[in-house]
């Protein structure tokens, strides 16, 4: 049973299941393009989710059947000065980095176009579920600009330097199947099944230990840019830290008692 939270102009935020939130970018007339107001509302919605101690997973999607997010709002960007353009990029960078480092998993449900800022938004999530009609790309070169919300950096880390360079300088799109082959997408589903599959996955995650997931996400996010020795030291440290949590006590007791754990 979904429960609407605070009212926004450009997005919808719903608590759809225990611990599971669904954020919908709701600008279908412009294919959910991102402008400054939408970024600000998304940032506010993230704060609302994190203020709930019961939050376990955040799903992000676009409204309508045509697009997840077709990109940053070109009408909005066309009037920006260089200084304003930099500020707009920093606005998006801050939000997307916040999603990337959020203490709970964030999952993108990509239906239709995820181009430019939309692709960058999807890549800032922990992983991506895509509908069969999904299209991914960074077409900024067609507008005479570079990516501005982290596309050149996240795409390189996800698909490798050579493939990222090809996509960035040609501006071509990737199908959902190609995106999965390249390691950008985790799973591809028929369009009508995408939300249900996302909710199924979210419910699975929501039943796990929140503290263990939070520490695991830190390991993946922080460790990917460390050398292996230091990354493994960090893992040992956080493994030890996890022994201080009530979830560790409950999880191990449940295993020894042959029952399902009841995490806080």
d(CA 209, CA 56): 9
- Could you list the beta-strand ranges (E) of 112-169: 113-115, 127-131, 135-137
| Given 100, 120, 132, 257, the catalytic residue | 120
Do 150 and 99 touch, CB atoms closer than 8 A? no
H helix and E strand count, the chain: 11, 11
Is residue 193 flagged as an active site residue? no
d(CA 194, CA 110): 8
- Could you give the maximum distance between any two Cα atoms of the chain, in Å? 64
Is residue 140 flagged as an active site residue? yes
d(CA 161, CA 203): 35
With a CB cutoff of 8 Å and minimum separation 6, the contacts of 46 are 23, 58, 95, 98, 99, 102
CB neighbourhood size of 235 (10 A): 14
Report which secondary-structure segment, H or E, holds 11.
Answer: strand 11-17
Supply 41's token pair: 């509302």
CB neighbourhood size of 77 (10 A): 21
| Given 3, 14, 100, 140, the catalytic residue | 140
Cα four-point dihedral sign 29, 100, 8, 92: negative
Active site residues: 120, 140
């Amino acid at each position: 049973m979904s429960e609407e939270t605070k009212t926004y102009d450009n997005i919808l935020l719903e608590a759809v299941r225990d611990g599971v939130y669904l954020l919908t970018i709701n600008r279908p007339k412009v294919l959910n393009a991102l402008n400054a107001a939408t970024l600000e509302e998304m940032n506010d919605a993230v704060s609302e989710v994190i203020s709930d101690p019961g939050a376990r997973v955040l799903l992000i999607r676009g409204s309508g059947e045509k697009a997840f997010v077709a990109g940053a709002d070109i009408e909005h960007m066309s009037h920006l000065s260089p200084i304003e353009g930099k500020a707009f990029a920093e606005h998006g960078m801050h939000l997307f980095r916040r999603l990337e480092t959020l203490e709970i998993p964030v999952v993108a449900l990509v239906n239709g176009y995820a181009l430019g800022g939309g692709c960058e938004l999807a890549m800032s999530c922990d992983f991506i579920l895509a509908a069969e009609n999904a299209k991914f790309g960074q077409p900024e070169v067609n507008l005479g600009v570079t990516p501005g919300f982290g596309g050149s950096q996240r795409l390189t880390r996800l698909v490798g330097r050579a493939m990222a360079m090809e996509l960035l300088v040609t501006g071509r799109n990737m199908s959902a199947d190609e995106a999965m082959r390249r390691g950008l997408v985790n799973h591809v589903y028929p369009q009508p099944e995408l939300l249900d599959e996302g909710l199924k996955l979210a419910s699975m995650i929501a039943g796990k230990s929140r503290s263990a997931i939070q520490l695991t996400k830190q390991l993946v996010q922080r460790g990917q840019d460390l050398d292996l020795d230091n990354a493994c030291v960090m893992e040992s440290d956080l493994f030890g830290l996890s022994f201080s949590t009530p979830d560790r006590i409950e999880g191990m007791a449940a295993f020894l008692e042959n029952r399902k754990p009841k995490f806080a």
